[in-house]
Chains A and B, each alone.
Chain A
Amino acid sequence: MLHLLWLIPAAPFAGFVVLALAGRRLSPRGVASVGIGSIAVSAVVSLLIGAAFLSAPPAGYAWTQALWTWIDVGRFRPQIAFYLDPLSLVMTVVVTFVSLLIHVYSAEFMAGDEGYGRFFAYMNLFVASMVVLLLADNLLLLYAGWEGVGLCSYLLIGFWYRDPVNGRAARKAFIVTRVGDTAMAVGLFLLFHELGTLQIQPLMQQAAAQWGAGSPYAVAAALLLLGGAVGKSAQLPLQTWLPDAMAGPTPTSALIHAATMVTAGVYLIARTHVLFALAPVAQHTVAVIGLVTLLMAGFSALTQHDIKRVLAYSTISQIGYMFLALGVGAWAAAIFHFMTHAFFKALLFLAAGIVIEALHDEHDMFRMGGLRRELPVAFWAFVIGGSSLAGLPLVTAGFYSKDLIVWSAWSAPGGSPLLWIGAVIGVLLTAMYTFRLIFLVFFGEAHSHVERRPGLRMTVPVLTLIALSVVGGFVDTPPGLGHVTLFTRFVQHALPAVPRAASGAGGLTETSSMLIAAAAFALGLWLAFELFLRRRRSAEALTATTAGRAIHALWASDWGMDWLYDRLFVRPVVWFARVNRRDVVDLPFLGAALLTRGAWAALSRSQTGRVRWYAAAVMTGTILLVAVVLFL
């Protein structure tokens, strides 16, 4: 069964090739069946492989399928090979399955769009690249998948390319992530130069053998890889592209900019966890970046008007949680949160798509309202997905994964009370912005008219994700609530185990941490209820004061990051380009061209067309030559 592993990336890639070559000639039905069918093959195969892996684990809980040697130059011999272990298996199953649901949803959501075939071609290419990224056996192949998903992200953000705003957002996403990718490429050069291989497992063993803890090489390599991760996962300081990326079609936002691609950074850090363990400084940086990002994005989410931008900031914030977990060394918790987040965030985006389409492309939450009865599916999707996102205790998946992270922020080896406090404040913020969204959109009085209701192909994926957002968390529960550790134990075959301490420093127990987090959730819910449903006026009064308005503007503009980058990078570059319109670097080349032109003009003047002139020139030349021979 495991031998079918190559089919998981190959099927979507074949789908992409068919759609790219013949997409215009196929009927919409044909396009949808190719697009969905290829992903379905991929999802079914990955589920079967998952079942086979669980029932009969290969030796060492890892299995490699080498297809062929990619490049063979000296010591550099990367292969096209796929590496299956619990970490990549979990990620692959979640990615292919969520992709399948989103593709089914897109078949109806995108119906009637003139770029129907193009859309499915890009989406299939994305899934193929993402799976290559996850299964890659060496960092070079991983990098190829990494760039592939970046390309698809760019293509899909700018999918409706006739609007220049979308093209701008796409370029911004591409360029900002490129900054991180460059750092990552330099990191790969460093690793290969120092350790002589890019194959991940030997690389990790060699790094552990060759470099001591805190070695400057390990720190540099870990920080460079972290640079790639923060770019792709939209963490501080490269998070500015994700909110603008919402210009793409909503299924794209659900798949690429919420559930899968943006968690590639989390995967990269988990995959190279040995390096980060060797570089405590870098690992601590990961935790701090995660915490700061999750708080900043949480505050920003509170002030957005666009429903998709709220969800975008929420995604940044939740990936901040994953980074926090990685940074304190709770590897399994980060992957657990990745899984539940993929479920409930995809659900929220798909439900947002239903709302947006029902109201004829309305994105502003303040022009919505009272949609509870009109769109029951979207309403329940938001209530359950939102509760999962905010961590409604006991019954939602998000509660279990986030609780594990919050507790780890204190108790794990790299944890500290300060990180824990930040994480709890994050829980409060999450509850607040989530329920602000729900109250604004679904309660209160209706401002607009529902024009279109979702059909079966949009409803079924949403219902499936609702179910997963609830039961997805029961695979791993804290000691006080059944103490199931299926997920953690499985993933810990690939990632180092964290001693799950019964109580951290300072006598805080896991149960009391959980109760405090639940209290934070309740407080956030109550604040949202008071400010955005019961007493809308008080929220308005709060933002009407001078200080309130300034803070609101600061948060709404993502803490002025765009403004800062505009001043810091964009304007100097534009200014320099304007000053340097006649490129200085070009001068030597232009000079050569000018010299040639001058010589041409002089020589062509000598060609008078008069035979006597030529004869005289021949004579003069002869005389000169003879003179040289005779007298010199």
Chain B
Amino acid sequence: MASVPLTDALLLAGILFVLGMAGLLARRNILLMLVSIEVMLNAAGFAFVAAGARWGQADGQAMFVFILTMAAAEVSVGLAIVLRLYRRYGQLDADLASGMKG
């Protein structure tokens, strides 16, 4: 089985991460912002897996499981916030919730 070079894997992880970041910064819809964060988390996870495969260690896989768990917890809190925001403002625009500005 031809192994994928580490640089390619890391490049893909980087592209995914930047895509997620761009989505996070560009979107105003809070639901899509959460999705973008998910993409970024998975990009990071992918980098771990690729690195683990390169050195033949299981730590990369273990780390990915951690990230997966954390992402689930994060999404549950995030969705709760989304629900509250929607009840309050009737929309999903994140910029509306700027009452704490200086």
Task: Using known A-B contacts A615-B24, A616-B25, A619-B21, determine if residue A610 contacts B94 with beta carbons closer than 8 Å.
Answer: yes
Which residues in window 601-632 of A have CB below 8 A to B?
603-612, 615-616, 619
Contacts of B90 in A (CB 8 A): none
Contacts of B8 in A (CB 8 A): none
Q: B1-31 CB contact bits vs A (8 Å, 1 = yes)?
A: 0000000000000000000010011011000
B95 to chain A, nearest CB (A): 5
Contacts of A616 in B (CB 8 A): 25
Question: Looking at the complex, which one of A603, A608, A612, A615 makes contact with B101 (CB distance below 8 Å)?
Answer: A608
A609 to chain B, nearest CB (A): 3
Size band of the B side of the interface? 10 to 19
Check if A612 sits within 8 Å of B25, measured CB to CB: yes
Check if B98 sits within 8 Å of A609, measured CB to CB: yes
B6 to chain A, nearest CB (A): 18
Question: Looking at the complex, which one of A603, A605, A609, A612 makes contact with B100 (CB distance below 8 Å)?
Answer: A609
B36's nearest neighbour on chain A, judged by CB, is A615
A607's nearest neighbour on chain B, judged by CB, is B102
Q: Within the assembled complex, what's the spacing in Å between the Cα atoms of A476 and B93?
A: 106
Contacts of B100 in A (CB 8 A): 607, 609
Check if A605 sits within 8 Å of B102, measured CB to CB: yes
Q: Within the assembled complex, what's the spacing in Å between the Cα atoms of A612 and B25?
A: 5
Check if B24 sits within 8 Å of A608, measured CB to CB: no
Q: Within the assembled complex, what's the spacing in Å between the Cα atoms of A221 and B97?
A: 76
Check if A610 sits within 8 Å of B95, measured CB to CB: yes
Q: B61-102 CB contact bits vs A (8 Å, 1 = yes)?
A: 000000000000000000000000000000000110111111
Task: Using known A-B contacts A612-B28, A612-B94, determine if residue A607 contacts B21 with beta carbons closer than 8 Å.
Answer: no
Check if A606 sits within 8 Å of B102, measured CB to CB: yes
Task: Using known A-B contacts A603-B102, A604-B102, determine if residue A609 contacts B97 with beta carbons closer than 8 Å.
Answer: yes
A105 to chain B, nearest CB (A): 72
Contacts of B98 in A (CB 8 A): 608-610
Number of A-B pairs, beta carbon distance below 8 Å:
36
Contacts of B101 in A (CB 8 A): 607-610
Q: Within the assembled complex, what's the spacing in Å between the Cα atoms of A607 and B102?
A: 5
Contacts of B28 in A (CB 8 A): 612
Contacts of A611 in B (CB 8 A): 33, 94-95, 97
Q: Within the assembled complex, what's the spacing in Å between the Cα atoms of A65 and B94?
A: 84
Q: Within the assembled complex, what's the spacing in Å between the Cα atoms of A606 and B102?
A: 7
Q: Within the assembled complex, what's the spacing in Å between the Cα atoms of A103 and B25?
A: 88
Check if B102 sits within 8 Å of A615, measured CB to CB: no
B8 to chain A, nearest CB (A): 21
Q: Within the assembled complex, what's the spacing in Å between the Cα atoms of A552 and B41?
A: 102
A607 to chain B, nearest CB (A): 3
Q: Within the assembled complex, what's the spacing in Å between the Cα atoms of A605 and B102?
A: 6
Contacts of B95 in A (CB 8 A): 610-612
Contacts of A606 in B (CB 8 A): 102
A601's nearest neighbour on chain B, judged by CB, is B102
Q: Within the assembled complex, what's the spacing in Å between the Cα atoms of A610 and B99?
A: 9
Contacts of A604 in B (CB 8 A): 102
Q: Within the assembled complex, what's the spacing in Å between the Cα atoms of A608 and B94?
A: 12
Contacts of A609 in B (CB 8 A): 97-102
Contacts of B97 in A (CB 8 A): 609, 611
Q: Within the assembled complex, what's the spacing in Å between the Cα atoms of A294 and B94?
A: 90
* Residue of A603, A608, A609 with most chain B CB atoms under a 10 A cut-off: A609
Q: Within the assembled complex, what's the spacing in Å between the Cα atoms of A611 and B28?
A: 9
Contacts of B33 in A (CB 8 A): 611-612
A619's nearest neighbour on chain B, judged by CB, is B21
Contacts of A619 in B (CB 8 A): 21, 25
A611's nearest neighbour on chain B, judged by CB, is B94
Contacts of A603 in B (CB 8 A): 102
Q: A128-165 CB contact bits vs B (8 Å, 1 = yes)?
A: 00000000000000000000000000000000000000
Check if B99 sits within 8 Å of A615, measured CB to CB: no
Q: Within the assembled complex, what's the spacing in Å between the Cα atoms of A605 and B27?
A: 23
A615's nearest neighbour on chain B, judged by CB, is B24
Q: Within the assembled complex, what's the spacing in Å between the Cα atoms of A609 and B94?
A: 10
Q: Within the assembled complex, what's the spacing in Å between the Cα atoms of A603 and B101?
A: 11
Q: Jot down 27 A-B pairs with beta carbons below 8 A, ordered by A.
A: A603-B102, A604-B102, A605-B102, A606-B102, A607-B100, A607-B101, A608-B98, A608-B102, A609-B97, A609-B98, A609-B99, A609-B100, A609-B101, A609-B102, A610-B95, A610-B101, A611-B33, A611-B94, A611-B97, A612-B27, A612-B28, A612-B33, A612-B94, A615-B24, A615-B25, A616-B25, A619-B25
Given contacts A609-B100, A609-B101, 7 further A-B contacts (CB under 8 A): A607-B102, A608-B101, A610-B95, A610-B101, A611-B95, A612-B95, A619-B21
Interface residues of B (CB under 8 A from A): 21, 24-25, 27-28, 33, 94-95, 97-102
Closest 7 A/B residue pairs (Cβ): A609-B98, A609-B101, A604-B102, A607-B102, A609-B100, A611-B94, A608-B101
